[in-house]
Amino acid sequence: MDFDDTPDEAAWRAEVRAFLAEHKDELGDRNGRRELDQETSRRRQALLYDAGYVGVTWPVEAGGRGGTPMQQAIIDQEMARAGIPGLINLIGIGMCGPTVIGHGSDDQKERYLQRLLRADDVWCQLFSEPASGSDLAALRTKAVQDEQGDWHISGQKVWTTLAHLSDYGILLTRTDPDVAKHRGLTMFVVDMKAPGVTVRPLRQMTGGAEFNEVFFDDVVIPDRERLGEVGDGWRVALTTLMSERLTLGGGGGDIGMNVERVAEHVAARIGELPPERQALVRQDFGRAYVATLGMRYTGYRLLTALSKGSLPGPEASAGKLAGTRAALDLADLAVRLLGDDAVYGAEPDGAGTWQSLQAGLPGMAIAGGTNEVLRNIIGERVLGLPPEPRADKDRTFRELAAAGA
C-alpha cells in the first residue's frame, strides 16, 4: 500500500483544503463552543453538502457524489487539520442513511436521503434499552399492527445520541415474541415529533447532554415507514452496526482527538516536569502514538479494500476497539500534564478540551458495541474462533423474558 496521495487524490486534497480555507469563518472552530449550536451546525453541513463534500461515497441517486472512501478520508483529514467541527448529522450519514439505502423503499429514499445529507433533517439511532444491556436482541420495545396496517409502538430507549435535536430516527422493535429473540424484530423510521414520543436529555459527566432516554407511548407509525420485511429487523440492524463501526474509527480517522495536537500539548508542557517524569511522559506518549498510528494504517488498509469494491465487514470492529483505547490513553496523558489546572480548569486548553474528552471517551467505548462485544465479533467472525456458548439460542423471546434472562 502506498501512503502517498495519487495525482488525483492530491488534486482532490488541494481542492478541499482551498475550500475550507476560503470558508473558515462560516465553518467555525472545533475548539470554540462545547454545546452544539444547532442552527449553526445545520448551516455548516448544508454549506459543505452544497459544495459536494458531504455524502461523498453515497450513490448519486441517493443524493451523494458516488466518490471513493479515500476521497471521504481526505475530507475528514483536512477538516481535522483545519480545526473544522464535525458534522451534526454524523449518525444520520454514517448509520441511518446507509440503512435506508440498503433496506428502504424508493419512496423513503426520495423523501429522506438528500434532506439528511443537507442536515435539513437530523437523525438518531434508537437501539439501546435499559433492560437489554449489550445484548441488543433482548430489546423489549414492542410494535403491534392494527387492522388498518399501522404499527403501535410502546417502550423505552436509552443512550440515544442527539435524540433531543433529531427530526427522525431508525427504531428497532419487537414484533413477534414467540420466536427466537433475533428473529422477531422489525425496523421502522419514526418521526421524532410524532404524538407519544417523549425525549429526556441525560446530563453527562462532561457537563453536556448529548445522550437521551426516549419513551414511546402508543406511537403510531404507518406501515410505509417499515425498513425491510417484518421479522427481518436483525439483518437490517446489522447493516446499521457495521456502518457504525466503520464510522467510529474503522476508516483510520482519529477518535476523540488528533494525535498531532496531543503532541503539541505534550511539547508545550514537558519542560515544566522533573527529569524523571519527563521520561515517563515520553514513554506514555510514545506507546499511545504508536497505537494510534497502528489504528490509522489499519484503517487505510480497510479503505483500500473498500476502494477495490469490498463491503464493510466485521474487521471494522478492530479499528473502533483500538482507536478508543488509544484515545483514552492520550486523553489521560493530556489531563495529567495539566496538573492542578485539570481540576480547576484555569487554562484555556484545559477548561473545555482535554477534561471534556477524558470524561466523554468512556461513552465512546460503549457506543457501537462495548469492548467485550467487539472482541467476540473479532474472535468469532474475523479469526474464526469457536463461538461463545449460548443457552438462549433455541428458546423464544417470551420464554426468556418469563425466565428473567
Active site members: 244
Which amino acid is residue 204, in one-letter code? Q
| Cell numbers representing residue 73 in the block | 478520508
Backbone angles phi, psi at 207, to 5 degrees: 95, -15
Residue 17, exposed/middle/buried by CB under 10 A (0-12, 13-18, 19+)?
middle
Left if phi > 0, otherwise alpha if psi is -120 to 50, otherwise beta: which for 162? left
SS3 for 226-285, per residue? EECCCCEHHHHHHHHHHHHHHHHHHCCCCCCCCHHHHHHHHHHHHHHCCHHHHHHHHHHH
First to last CA, the chain: 47
- Contact predicate 291/329, CB 8 Å: yes
| Cell numbers representing residue 188 in the block | 421502522
Q: Give 96's DSSP letter.
A: I
Own/partner contacts of 233-239, CB < 8 Å, gap of 24 or more, are 233/172, 233/173, 233/175, 233/185, 233/186, 233/187, 234/137, 234/182, 234/183, 234/185, 236/99, 236/102, 236/103, 236/172, 236/187, 237/127, 237/136, 237/172, 237/185, 237/187, 239/98, 239/99, 239/102, 239/103
Q: Whose grid coordinates read 474462533? A: 385
User: What are the beta bridge partners of residue 171?
Assistant: 126, 188
- Give the total residue count for the chain: 405
Euclidean distance between CA atoms 9 and 69, whole angstroms: 11
Euclidean distance between CA atoms 308 and 58, whole angstroms: 16
Torsion of CA 211, 52, 77, 97, to 10 degrees: 40
